[in-house]
Amino acid sequence: MNDDQLLRYSRHILLDELGVEGQQRLLDAHALIIGAGGLGSPVGLYLGSAGIGRITLVDHDEVDATNLQRQIAHRLDRLGHNKAQSLAQSIIAINPDVQVRVVTGRADAPGLAHWVPQASVVIDCTDNFATRQAINQACVQHRVPLVSGAALAFDGQVSVYDRRSAGQPCYACLFSPLTPPEEVRCATLGVFAPLVGIIGSVQAAEAIKLVTGVGTSLAGRLLMLDARRMSWSEIQLQPDPACSVCGGTHHGP
């Protein structure tokens, strides 16, 4: 790290658990953020400001006026712009040292097969069940940790799916791709504006912890938030032996 970086990241470096070595791991890391909306905005802004060296942003959607109520990376003068490009501009405005790559297409299987193996951590900020399943499958296949979040109305949830460790479930162990739920979007039910900020911030924290090795991740635990009462609950997750993606088994190196 140069002198400017030592100053910029000094508040991280002062943390005994992180220090210079932990910050250097962040600078050397590559985060793949899929979805640049309500969850992707705080994830991208926090990872960029924290010094993740490389970020790949994937989103095919465009900024709409209804997004501005909660998608804090976007601005009124970017209506009609691609969301990944808009988020990239906001990240670079905070930290121009971050290398940001923008993908303006959908997160499909061929794309994921190319992007996921290059990543240190994948953060799922999408709102589409099929895309979530495709992301999980790629992360299981390439043994890359996945931080998954969701937010709708006043309810949010977040967890880490890390198949590098024995006995850990994947996303499909909890939400089987064989029984897709009825798709409900915020355009129908609405979403409490700060909720996506809360869940996205937790996702960013988990991604930083995974990269640096600090603390204990949410792997094997699902956190759920009821923002009406601002009440968190937690359930323990177990691998599903009948999982169609991972089979509930650990595939070692």
Range 106-130 burial, b when 16+ CB lie within 10 A, else e: ebeeebbeebbeebbbbbbbbbeee
Asked if 191 contacts 151 with a C-beta cutoff of 8 angstroms, the reply is yes
Residue 149 phi, psi dihedral angles, 5° rounding: -135, 160
- Specify whether the CB–CB gap between 139 and 163 falls below 8 A: yes
Does residue 33 contact residue 40 with C-beta atoms inside 8 Å?
A: yes
Instruction: Give the burial class of 8: count Cβ atoms within 10 A of its Cβ; 0-12 exposed, 13-18 middle, 19 or more buried.
Output: middle
Are the beta carbons of 171 and 132 closer than 8 angstroms?
Answer: yes
Annotated catalytic, 246? Answer: no
Cβ-contact 43, 203 below 8 angstroms: yes
**Which distant-in-sequence residues (6+ apart) come within 8 Å of 182 by Cβ?**
none
User: Which is catalytic among the residues 125, 170, 186, 243?
Assistant: 186
Say which DSSP state 82 is in: B
Residues involved in catalysis: 186
